[in-house]
């Protein structure tokens, strides 16, 4: 395993955790009203979609050998991960009661996971930019 891929592997692991977690361990409230989905369902869909894109980008970040492309992908992951922080309840409303699962589990889990990804990819991008600048 190349040392330069450590950050990429960490990014991929967190992105996959975000995607799979949003569908399993920290998924939103179950059920709906009169057969209609609750609002938090759409927030979950948005997080899963963003998670899939992040996972693909992280895998490309590992597989593509060009350092410039790696840095570009890290920057892209950084921006998208930072955007995901604002999906639950800011961009897409969650349910009415803050004691519901979407507020107590889904929202904090998504915010914490995407914040971790933002920090990792941000550091990775900065290190990549410095190294690219030196070469």
Partner 1 sequence: MKLKYLPFKNLIRKPFRTAALLLIAAFMTAAVFGGTVAAASLKNGLDSLEQRLGADIIVVPEEAEAKADLENMLLSGTPGYFYMDKSVEDKIAAVEGVELTSPQYFLVSANAECCTVQVQVIGFDENSDFSIKPWLKQCYSGTLGDNEVIVGSSLSTRVGHTLMLYGTECKAVGKLDATGTGLDTAIYTTPDTVRRLIRASQEKGIGVLAKQSPDDVISSVYIKVKDGYDIADVAADINLNIDGVQAVRTRSMITGTADKLAVISGSINVLIIAVWILAAAIMTAAFSVLAGVRRREFAVLRVVGLSRRQLGKIVFSESVIICVVGGVIGIALSAAAVFAFGNAIETNSGLPYLAPSAVQSLKYLLFALAAVLVTGSVSSGWSAYRLSHVDTGNILREGD
Query: Which stretches of the chain bind partner 1, using CB under 8 A?
Result: 29, 31-33, 38-39, 89, 93-100, 103-105, 108, 111-112
CB of 52 to partner 1, least distance (A): 24
- Distance, CA of 29 to CA of 38 (rounded, Å): 8
Closest to partner 1 by CB, 36 or 134: 36
In 3D, which of 44, 61, 18 has the Cα closest to residue 103?
A: 44
CB of 41 to partner 1, least distance (A): 11
How distant, in Å, are the alpha carbons of 24, 33, 39, 117, 130 from that of 87? 18, 22, 12, 15, 31
CB of 104 to partner 1, least distance (A): 4
Closest to partner 1 by CB, 19 or 89: 89
Closest to partner 1 by CB, 59 or 100: 100
Residue 88's SS3 state is: strand
- Bridge partners of 37? 32
CB of 64 to partner 1, least distance (A): 26
Closest to partner 1 by CB, 29 or 50: 29
Helix (H) or strand (E) holding 119: helix 107-134
CB of 5 to partner 1, least distance (A): 15
- Radius of gyration over alpha carbons of the chain, in Å? 16
Closest to partner 1 by CB, 33 or 66: 33
- Distance, CA of 44 to CA of 56 (rounded, Å): 18
């Amino acid at each position: 395993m190349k040392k330069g891929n450590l950050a990429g592997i960490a990014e991929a692991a967190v992105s996959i955790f975000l995607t799979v977690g949003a569908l399993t361990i920290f998924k939103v409230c179950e059920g709906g009203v009169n057969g209609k989905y609750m609002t938090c369902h759409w927030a979950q869909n948005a997080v899963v979609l963003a998670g899939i894109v992040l996972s693909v980008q992280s895998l490309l970040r590992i597989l593509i050998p060009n350092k410039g492309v790696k840095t570009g992908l890290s920057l892209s992951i950084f921006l998208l991960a930072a955007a995901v922080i604002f999906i639950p309840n800011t961009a897409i409303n969650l349910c009415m009661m803050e004691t519901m699962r979407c507020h107590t589990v889904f929202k904090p889990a998504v915010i914490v996971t995407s914040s971790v990804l933002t920090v990792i990819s941000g550091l990775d991008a900065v290190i990549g930019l410095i190294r690219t600048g030196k070469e």
